[in-house]
Amino acid sequence: MKHIDLIQHFQTTGTVVSIEPLGAGHINDSFFVKTSESDNPDYLLQRINHQIFKDVELLQNNILHVTNHIRKKLIEKGEQDISRKTLTIIPAKDGKLFYFDGENYWRVYLFIQGGKSYDAITPALAYSAGKAFGEFQSYLADIPDAVYETIPNFHNMEFRLEQFREAVANDAAGRVKDNKEIIAAIESRADEMTKVERIGREGKLPKRINHCDTKVNNVLFDEEGQVLCVVDLDTVMPGYVVSDFGDFIRTGANTGAEDDADLDNISVNLDIYTSYAQGYLKTARSFLLPLEIEFLPFGARLLTYMQTVRFFTDYLNGDTYYKTQFPEHNLQRTKAQLKLLEDLEDKEEQLILK
Ligand code: ADP
Ligand code: GN1
Ligand code: MG
């Protein structure tokens, strides 16, 4: 179905003048929907990847509960301009939170005007993002609705390793034989990297409602470099806060790209790391346990390792999960993440937070 026809199924207003692809996410497809009237909102149309988010109704209900709760918190704080500070779902004309066209699932959000997302940031932007993700967790600490795992075991390292080992055993794309070194690099760290799961089971690390995709490009900044809005709420679910901390560092503090072909570009920028940590602790310290704070630097390594494992597992499976731009893209991503992991390991002492 054409995008313009899809929009007619939602409770939007105004006359659509253009629909253009937007963003560089690896999972969903996003489109900027512009309307002609200056006093009318623009929209974001998204095709939901339902191979990955298998229960679209649960997904959309999660997002509705999360955004409603955040909106309530923003109102209590006396914030202005709330429709730019959290996502607003535009329901379909039948009242559902998505539209199924017989093949694909679609949703519409209000477009957040003036929001800018970056792939490379400064320490000042990192500080602002840190504060925003700490606030995000604090807002959701008392959400009354159940928040479900939209992807079961999403950030469970033990589960990700099981998937990896299964992929090695199946060798579906015949790629195991040329990549023994990467397999060894993953296995040699597996025990240490699953310790959060073990300590969690002992009851020493709590699960909190996390964003679970704190990639740097999931934050929209305003003109002054303050965070306007945290977006991409598909994976908001219970988890360990080290996950959210680590995923931001993995993306925002990398001097290279997530898939950099030149490994020499890749390292951790310690100024960005420290600024993000300071921002995050400013808004989150009050509710974090000392052990959670102690584990934050480990989170940076853990999420970089997890992403290495996830990209590589997808590569071994024949590239079935992430969008790829060329045949060896997942391998290139794997090597880039592994390089970042090695740099984080080398700088372990410098990552300790005071
Ligand atoms: P994906 O799951 O594919 O990463 P996102 O939900 O992150 O998709 O959207 C892709 C990009 O579109 C984001 O990185 C952000 O820059 C932009 N974006 C997302 N939601 C909005 C919105 N409501 N208004 C304006 N821009 C948005
Ligand atoms: C995906 O959708 P996007 O691009 O923001 C992925 C994240 C990964 C990330 C790696 C649902 O995020 O978990 O960390 O790619 N999202 C899902 O860049 O798997
Ligand atoms: Mg995204």
The answer to whether the CB of 23 is under 6 A from ligand 1 is yes
100 DSSP β-pair partners: 105
- Number of C-beta neighbours around residue 33 at 10 A: 25
CA of 217 to the centre of ligand 1 (A): 8
The Cα–Cα gap between 324 and 332 comes to: 11
Q: Is 235 in the pocket of ligand 1 (CB under 6 A)?
A: no
Distance from Cα 87 to the centre of ligand 1, integer Å: 10
CA torsion angle for 269, 275, 280, 286 (degrees, to 10)?
130
Check: CB of residue 50 under 8 Å from CB of residue 60.
no
3-state secondary structure of 339: helix
User: Is any ligand 1 atom within 6 A of the Cβ of residue 232?
Assistant: yes
Judged by its nearest atom, the ligand closest to the C-alpha of residue 258 is 2
Helix axes 241-252, 123-140, angle to 10 degrees: 160
Per CATH, the homologous superfamily of domain 123-351 is: Aminoglycoside phosphotransferase (APH), C-terminal lobe (3.90.1200.10)
Q: Where in the chain is the domain with CATH 3.30.200.20?
A: 3-110
- Other beta carbons within 10 angstroms of residue 137's beta carbon come to 19
d(CA 219, ligand 1 centre) in Å: 9
> Looking at the CA of 83, which ligand is closest?
1
Q: Domain 3-110 classified CATH 3.30.200.20?
A: yes
Question: Which pair of structure tokens corresponds to residue 323?
Answer: 């969008």
Q: List, by residue range, all CATH 3.90.1200.10 domains of the chain.
A: 123-351
The minimum-distance atom of ligand 2 relative to the CA of 212 is: 13
| 117 backbone φψ class: left, alpha, beta (φ>0; ψ -120 to 50) | beta
Residues with CB under 6 A from ligand 2: 25-27, 52, 213, 215, 218, 232, 234-235, 258, 307
pLDDT tens for the chain, 354 residues long, are: 788 899 999 999 999 999 999 987 899 999 999 999 999 999 999 999 999 999 999 999 999 999 999 999 999 999 999 999 999 999 999 999 999 999 999 999 999 999 999 888 999 999 999 999 999 999 999 999 999 999 999 999 999 999 999 999 999 999 999 999 999 999 999 999 999 999 999 999 999 999 999 999 999 999 999 999 999 999 999 999 999 999 999 999 999 999 999 999 999 999 999 999 999 999 999 999 999 999 999 999 999 999 999 999 999 999 999 999 999 999 999 999 999 999 999 999 999 997
Distances from the Cα of 78 to the Cαs of 53, 75, 141, 222, 235, in angstroms?
35, 5, 19, 19, 27
Please name the residue whose Cα sits nearest to atom 9 of ligand 2.
26
Instruction: Tell whether ligand 1 has an atom less than 6 A from the beta carbon of residue 89.
Output: no
* pLDDT in the model for residue 354: 79
Ligand 2 pocket mutation, candidates 27, 44, 303, criterion most atoms within 8 A of CB: 27
Q: Are 134 and 282 in contact (CB under 8 A)?
A: yes
Q: Is the CB of 12 under 6 A from ligand 1?
A: no
- Which pLDDT score, from 0 to 100, does residue 257 have? 96
Ligand 2 centre and the CA of 141: distance in Å?
A: 23
- Residue 25 is predicted with a pLDDT of 85
CA distance 227 to 288: 22
Placement of tokens 């099981």 in the chain: 162
Alpha-carbon span 166 to 313, nearest angstrom: 9
Angle at the Cα of 121 from the Cα atoms of 117 and 125, rounded to 5 degrees: 85
b/e 92-102 (16+ beta carbons within 10 angstroms → b): beeeebbbeee
Q: What is the pLDDT of residue 2?
A: 82
For 70, residues 6+ apart whose C-beta sits below 8 A from its C-beta are 86, 136, 139, 140
Instruction: Determine the pLDDT at residue 24.
Output: 79
Residue of the CA atom closest to atom 16 of ligand 1: 117
Nearest ligand to the CA atom of 235: 2
